[in-house]
């Protein structure tokens, strides 16, 4: 499998050549770039910080906070009732499907909420987030 990040005319030309030379019945997908593994690691560190802080008395897991933040941003999140009256749990949300802008929005949302509720970030002051935004275009 070959992927191309369309950054300049030469890369676009290489992509078009690959498409024209591909065998019949192959699939071509053109899509926005997904969030990076660096952004994913940052998000989970932040969600862990928020969960440890227990803002508003919420004793939630990082996974539950992730669902809440994604729901807050308008992403579809579903909940199912747990086994033996263990309460609802989130399902049907995948941050791996977020594009770079959506992931940036999610991280900014977590920062805003955490800062408003006194979360102490284990990472440095927005450490690397601006770099993350710049690298998103790589």
| Per-residue pLDDT band at 124 (split at 50, 70, 90) | low
Residue 110 contacts residue 40 (beta carbons within 8 Å): no
pLDDT in the model for residue 137: 44
List % helix, strand, coil for the chain (3-state, nearest 5).
Answer: 55, 5, 40
CATH of 33-135, one of 3.40.630.30, 4.10.220.20, 3.40.50.80, 1.10.3790.10: 1.10.3790.10
Indicate if the alpha-carbon torsion angle 74, 64, 95, 128 is positive or negative: positive
- Please tell me whether residue 68 adopts helix, strand or coil conformation: helix
Read off the pLDDT of residues 83-111 as tens digits, 9 standing for 90 and up.
888 887 767 667 888 889 999 999 999 99
Q: Residue 53 and residue 60: Cα distance in Å, rounded?
A: 10
Read off the pLDDT of residues 22-56 as tens digits, 9 standing for 90 and up.
999 999 988 888 888 889 999 999 999 999 999 99
pTM score: 0.66
pLDDT in the model for residue 22: 93
Mean pLDDT of 63-72: 90
Locate the domains of the chain by residue range: 1-30, 33-135
């Amino acid at each position: 499998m070959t992927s191309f990040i369309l950054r300049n005319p030469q890369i676009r030309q290489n992509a078009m050549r690959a498409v024209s030379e591909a065998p019949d019945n192959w699939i071509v997908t053109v899509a926005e770039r997904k969030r990076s593994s660096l952004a994913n690691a940052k998000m989970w560190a932040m969600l862990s910080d928020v969960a440890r802080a227990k803002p508003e008395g919420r004793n939630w897991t990082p996974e539950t906070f992730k669902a809440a933040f994604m729901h807050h941003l308008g992403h579809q999140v579903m909940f199912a009732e747990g086994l033996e009256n263990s309460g609802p749990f989130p399902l049907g949300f995948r941050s791996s499907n977020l594009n770079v802008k959506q992931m940036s929005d999610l991280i900014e949302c977590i920062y805003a909420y955490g800062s408003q509720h006194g979360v102490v970030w284990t990472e440095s002051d927005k450490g690397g987030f601006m770099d993350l935004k710049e690298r998103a275009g790589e």
